[in-house]
Chain A
Amino acid sequence: MSSAISTEAATGKRRAARRPRPAPKVTPEPDAPPDSFQVWHFFVLMSLVGATAAVILSRQSTPEHLVLISFAIGAAGISAMALYRMLAPLATTDADLATEPLSDRLRGDLEREKALTLRSIKELEFDRAMGKLSQEDFDEMAGRLRARALGIMRQLDEGGGAYRAVIERELASRVGAAAVSAAPPVRPAPEAPPAVERPDAAARACACGVANDPDARFCKACGRQL
């Protein structure tokens, strides 16, 4: 998991908090920083404007009437947003959506799943201590749960791999684009094999080209001492 986090950091995207974070988006502005104007802001704004106009223009002015009119317009705003949410994916390609790495939400889900599985193992231990489960049954049931927990842990760890693939693809495309347009490169192109570069000054680069955590003593890719 730690490798996943460090690799993610290497993308250079600054995120204020690790969790909770916004849901993975199919909105077509992947490069927009999270504090910039988002699509849903537009719909909320339009709903507020619409509700305000309706309240001002309304002939009936009982509180319940105004509240309900505002709710209806708010719901209409959400409908417009949902319509956008329905149409936006059609304007993208399957490949764009498929590159989505282990998202924060999935990571959260997996973490919860893992906690649940570990808790189930603890419950089995408890059952055994209460005399309600023989050692043989415990071994069998706990074995199954352990296998599940290990699977989830592996999936969480491999999440970093998915990120790495995305970053590498991204880098390759940018570098390629830069070379074609002869514009100054965004970043120095890495030597082959494509490596993940870390802008963090404290990162420790290995001779093999892989960036490691600042406190790493061995390279996480080749195992060489740093």
Chain B
Amino acid sequence: MATLGTFTLLATFVAAAYAVAASVAGGRLRSRRLIESGIGAFYLTAALMTVASCLIVHAFVTGNYAIKYVQHYSDTAQPLAYKIASYWGGLDGSIMFWVFLLAVFGTIAVATNRERHRELIPYVVATIAATEMFFIFIMVVHNNPFSTYLTGVPAEGRGLNPLLQNFYMAIHPPSLYTGFVAMTIPYAFGIAALATGHLDDAWLRAVRRWTMIGWLFLTFGLTLGMLWAYEELGWGGFWGWDPVENAGLLPWFTATAFLHSVMVQERRGMLRVWNVTLVIVTFFLTIFGTFMTRSGVVQSVHAFGEDRWLAYLFSGFMVLILTFSFGLVIYRLPLLKSRHELDSWASREAAFLANNWILLFSAFFVLFATMFPTLSEAVTGERLTVGPPFFNKWMLPIGLMLLLLTGIAPLLAWRKSTIRNLIEQFTWPAAATMVTAAAVYALGIHVWESVACFALCAFVGVTIAQEFVRGAGVRRGATGTDLLTAMIGLVGRSRRRYGGYIVHLGIVLMFLGFAGQGYKQDEQLLLKPGQQATVGRYTIVHNALTVTSDDQKQMITGQVTVRRGEKVLTDMAPAKWFFNKHEQEPTSEVAIRRTPAEDLYIVLAGYDVSTQTATYAVTINPLVDWIWFGFGVLAFGTGIALLPERAFAFATAKLPAGAVTTGLMLLLLLMPGAVRAQDAQTVNPIQRSELRRQLEQEFMCMCGGCRAPMNDCPMGASCHGKKEMEAKIDTLVAQGMTHDQIKAAFVAEYGEEVLTTPPDRGFNRLAWALPYVMGATGASIIAMVAWRWSRRDEDTPAPAAAAAAPGQDQALAERLDDELRDLD
């Protein structure tokens, strides 16, 4: 079976190489038979990868431990679903899974566009097949998932990492990979358009749908990653700016920018170079993300480990991508000239320009901050940490600015907004912003980030509502129906626009969840059986500790009752699981009580079975579930925008479009959401001073395993390294030392590696200065380009469209008018 698998991979490599050669030769020589043969070879790669995937999954399911990869990532006790998920659980298999997805997606893209974009298809096939070749090459020469033990085949497997044996982790990588892979399709079409010189808007129409699909899967993957971190890592948060998380976020930023700027090209014929650049950068970032997580250049909790050889291979491939792609862009620059110029800063295209600048800045900032420790180590020899506080310092205002633009852009007119227009559009949203800010402040939330976020959410929410109501009003006037019917018709008829607004609504809901993080509450409780403690409005009663086991693991579970006043709300059971063969890596099974207003989040952080004493880390997370719900709305909106013309007629007649996706997301939400459910002595939470809380954010846990800030250490109270550091902080605080003195003492003891943000001096000053430089440079370039555009406007000849209107065929024009009238 292993030999057959290796042979299949080799055959796939040959087929892909043939597809590249035949397609390029066919394209150059205009030979239809070569092109068709190349397409056939391209389909063959997908079929062969399917065979290879079936073989590896078969090996996992039947426990063929002669194959090293199978032995490393599975064992007999593993449930079937996780045996299948083990396929992408390790480095070798994840690369193979990547190629499989790329081959399948590529085949679908080529099959659906083969007629409409005949001139592009040979180069699309060649680009995708060349990308496949690179990954297959890695597998064949370096990471063959089918390599076997020559002697001494183990009788049992090592088993999948316990942290990955989680429902979300089983589907998170496929989703993220699908997003990554889908981004290859727009790149392939972009390269084909550049290679052939067919740089009108046709290639954009071919890739828009694929970008949306890729974007949706990336968002889904990132959301699943957040859910996994929230439920499995047990530190109460969901996003830790880990390099692997960032790897998925980078292309998300640029893909979001592309989805917006593509509209400007379609409507106004502008940003043509920019769009093709975004497509290239997005693809590059997907490869770069893969490089980051697989080569070991960055340290992460869930990177695959260091592999210098792989790092060289990836570096070569990335250099090739950049050189080749931007070489083509430069070669085709004359064909990429803008048709129009920027008329006014108060226009939608200007808002999109600003949004693009911010998104691209975010991508480069996150990339820079993620890579800074590696850079710093290369230059100074000392590895630093760039932790969440550094990211948050920048990304928080950036996020708020993006949210603001989400509200502003739909209100602006294309080309130019007049003052009257602006007043008319902005009155209600601006009023809602102010009222909300005042109301939130009056309700006692005095964290400025949260207040601003709530106010901006109101701004965007009212903007969207206003767009729907006004749009329905116009449609009502045209069709004479009632408001609700008009609104449904509106969404059905302008799916992309209103689907987009629904996506914005999803983003607003997600931001509500982020705003809640500003005033979350966390405490640690040390309780004996029968004792209770109060956190926020909840009283937590510790009843007992139980020790149980099954085939796979031993489970230590804290039995907790939660009350509000005298009323028993629920029973909860946070636990620690020790998987066989992975006893050193216990997993936290968090107990969560979900409500729309807040989550009660309890982790069994420490325990003593002999005395039945338990330490609970209790977090009250306000509004966090709105993030997951927001994703459901976002997926619903994307589904509407993606549905084809015919499908929508069916969907509106039978059931709301995208209902399946939302339903699935809600189902995902509810599954783990089910909460596993006496007079007592009341004790106080473990006392932590404000200074200690602050320092826990600023110091890394130096236990050597988690590489997380002290307040986010996934091992919680059971982490010995952290305990030691906490004790030191308490001692120094008790001695009356100030914040800076304690910080200096820790740096003296542990080195600068202990800090979560790089100190602002020497080479590390670069980390603080560069974002400013990047932002200012980007803004200056955009301002300069826009200024030149607006200047050029004076010399621009009359719009080409007037000439383009072919008046010669009157009959055809009349037919077009008739069809437009019939279109409703």
Contact = CB atoms under 8 A, between A and B. Distances in A.
A185 interface: no
Given A94-B31, A116-B205, A143-B802, A132 B414 contact: yes
Contacts of B44: 79, 82-83, 85-86
B362 to A, nearest CB: 28
A42 to B, nearest CB: 16
A127 interface: yes
Contact of A144 (B37, B475, B800): B800
Given A82-B40, A106-B115, A144 B801 contact: yes
A126 B492 CA distance: 14
A75 B801 contact: no
Contact of B812 (A62, A79, A126, A154): A154
Contacts of B477: 129
A119 B50 contact: no
B25 interface: no
Interface stretch (B527-535, B742-750, B814-822): B814-822
Interface in B32-75: 32-34, 36-37, 39-41, 43-44, 46-48, 50-51, 54-55, 57-58, 61-62
Contact count band on A: 35 or more
Nearest to B46: A82
Given A75-B50, A143-B802, A64 B414 contact: no
Given A119-B823, A130-B470, A140-B802, A97 B37 contact: no
B413 interface: yes
A78 interface: yes
Given A82-B44, A132-B414, A144-B804, A154 B36 contact: no
Contacts of A153: 812, 815-816
Interface class of chain B by DSSP: helix
Contacts of B43: 82, 85-86
A113 B116 contact: yes
Q: For the complex, would chain A's binding face be called helix, strand, loop or mixed by DSSP majority?
A: helix
**A71, A84, A87, A103 — which one has the most chain B CB atoms within 10 A of its CB?**
A71
B718 interface: no
Nearest to B490: A126
B13 to A, nearest CB: 14
Contacts of A30: none
A143 B493 contact: no
A97 B34 CA distance: 11
A132 B471 contact: no
Residue in B39, B51, B115 with the greatest tally of chain A CB atoms within 10 Å: B115
Interface in A138-190: 139-141, 143-144, 146-147, 149-151, 153-154, 157
Nearest to B60: A68
A70 B735 CA distance: 72
Nearest to A100: B32
B416 interface: yes
B41 A143 contact: no
B799 interface: yes
A157 B645 CA distance: 22
Contact of A76 (B36, B51, B494): B51
Nearest to A77: B47
Given A98-B32, A140-B802, A130 B61 contact: no
B62 A65 contact: yes
A150 B816 contact: yes
A65 B428 CA distance: 62
A214 B804 CA distance: 37
Nearest to B424: A131
A146 B816 contact: yes
Contacts of B413: 127, 131-134
Nearest to B819: A118
Contacts of A76: 47, 51
Contacts of A132: 348, 412-414, 421
A88 interface: yes
Interface residues of B, number: 68
B553 interface: no
Interface in A6-32: 23-24, 26
Given A26-B36, A83-B44, A143-B804, A150 B416 contact: no
Given A89-B37, A122-B820, A144-B800, A150 B51 contact: no
Contact of B116 (A94, A106, A144): A106
A42 B799 CA distance: 57
B813 interface: yes
A72 interface: yes
A200 interface: no
Contact of B37 (A87, A140, A157): A87
B33 A93 contact: yes
B723 interface: no
B493 A141 contact: no
A112 B31 CA distance: 28
B494 A72 contact: no
A88 B43 CA distance: 13
A90 B50 contact: no
B36 A68 contact: no
A170 to B, nearest CB: 18
A91 B51 CA distance: 27
Contact of A109 (B40, B55, B116): B116
B375 to A, nearest CB: 45
Interface in B104-155: 111, 114-116
B383 interface: no
Contact of B809 (A87, A98, A122, A154): A154
Interface in B483-499: 493-494, 497
B645 A90 contact: no
Contacts of B414: 127, 132-133, 137, 141
Interface string B576-593: 000000000000000000
A24 B36 CA distance: 12
A188 to B, nearest CB: 34
Contacts of B443: none
B33 A94 contact: yes
Nearest to A122: B823
A60 B115 contact: no
Given A65-B58, A137-B414, A147-B806, A113 B47 contact: no
Contact of B801 (A118, A141, A149): A141
A210 interface: no
Nearest to B114: A105
A69 interface: yes
Contacts of A140: 799, 801-802
A126 B824 CA distance: 11
A196 interface: no
Contacts of A146: 805, 813, 816
Given A65-B62, A112-B645, 11 more contacts: A75-B54, A105-B114, A106-B115, A118-B823, A122-B823, A134-B416, A137-B414, A143-B799, A143-B804, A143-B805, A149-B816
CB-based closest 8 A-B pairs: A86-B40, A143-B801, A85-B40, A89-B36, A72-B54, A82-B44, A79-B47, A147-B804
14 contacts: A23-B111, A26-B36, A83-B40, A84-B40, A86-B40, A89-B40, A90-B34, A115-B645, A120-B266, A131-B421, A134-B415, A143-B801, A147-B806, A153-B816
